[in-house]
Amino acid sequence: MKAVINSFFHFNIVDSLIIVAVSFVFYLLVKKLLLDNLRIAKVDKRINQKGKTYIAAITSLIKTAFVVITTLILLQANGVHVTSMLAGLGIASAIVGLALQDALKDFIRGLNLLSDEYFNVGDVIEVNGTKGVVTEFGLRTTKIRELITGNTISLANRNMESVSVDAGNIHLNIPFSYEIPVDRAEKLLEEALRRIGEQDHVSSARYLGLNNLSDSSMDYLIEVRGTPAEQLRIRRRALGTIMQVFEENLVKVPYPQLDVHTDSQN
């Protein structure tokens, strides 16, 4: 540590600026190479999703490595014997190690998330009660844009223990009154599903069958598949289409009713 302090009194500004400039230019070249590979990968959507994830993680790792290496080169260029300094840090190293425990946990968890392919950039995931689109993945943090609010939140990788990737399947229970025959209900659903299947971001819409016999209605189950990031919009439009078919065919949505009988006395 004494050598580091003494070096500040003999700081070589010109050499230090050259080292920083060369290191920064080299970092920009490496980063540009990665971004060029990402643009090429856009030809294939599947490769693009995985490419974004790997490139984001590698960029984060390279950035950290450049900062550490440049710092060590600067110290060496200004008369600090880096090898001796690192060997003599002793207690200070232990203190710094304890302070960086959380960062190390984030880094290790980030490597696990990356190597095990939990998710890719662009996937819709649910973690710790938060559901959103993965917009950025790094070895320390993962950024998610919430589907409901549109807010972007940053999660430490060490806190991402249970991650669920949404496949984009939406299941809806459609209630019909008991007075409506099953065959008519299914024909109305077929028409609604045909219209839903023609909407943007929808890959398929299908009828799964009678799902429940409740107190006031028969519930029919349908499945709509589409782009996971657009599932809220797909759900709203699907429900709107179903209501439109109901209105065109004079079908009312059933709701719970309570019949009250009173005894009248003369």
Q: What confidence score (pLDDT) does residue 171 get?
A: 93
Q: What confidence score (pLDDT) does residue 214 get?
A: 87
Task: Give all domains of the chain, ordered by start, each with its CATH number.
Answer: 2-99 (no CATH), 115-165 (2.30.30.60), 169-248 (3.30.70.100)
Q: What confidence score (pLDDT) does residue 8 get?
A: 46
Average pLDDT value for the chain: 78
Q: What is the pLDDT of residues 64-87, one digit of tens each?
A: 778 878 887 777 777 666 666 655
- Whether 43 has a pLDDT exceeding 50, the answer reads no
- Whether 46 has a pLDDT exceeding 50, the answer reads no
Q: What is the pLDDT of residues 173-207, one digit of tens each?
A: 999 999 999 999 999 999 999 999 999 999 999 99
Cα-flanking dihedrals φ and ψ of residue 162, to 5°? -120, 110
The share of the chain scoring above pLDDT 70, in percent, equals: 74
In sequence order, what DSSP letters do the residues of 182-230 get, joined into one string?
HHHHHHHHHHHHHHHHTSTTEEEEEEEEEEEE-SS-EEEEEEEEE-GGG
Confidence of residue 239 (pLDDT cuts 50, 70, 90): very high
Q: What is the pLDDT of residues 201-234, one digit of tens each?
A: 999 999 999 999 988 899 999 999 998 888 889 9
Q: What number of other Cβ atoms are within 10 A of residue 236's Cβ? A: 10
d(CA 152, CA 232): 17
d(CA 12, CA 77): 8
Name the 3-class secondary structure at 242: helix
Q: In this structure, what token pair is assigned to residue 55? A: 């490139």
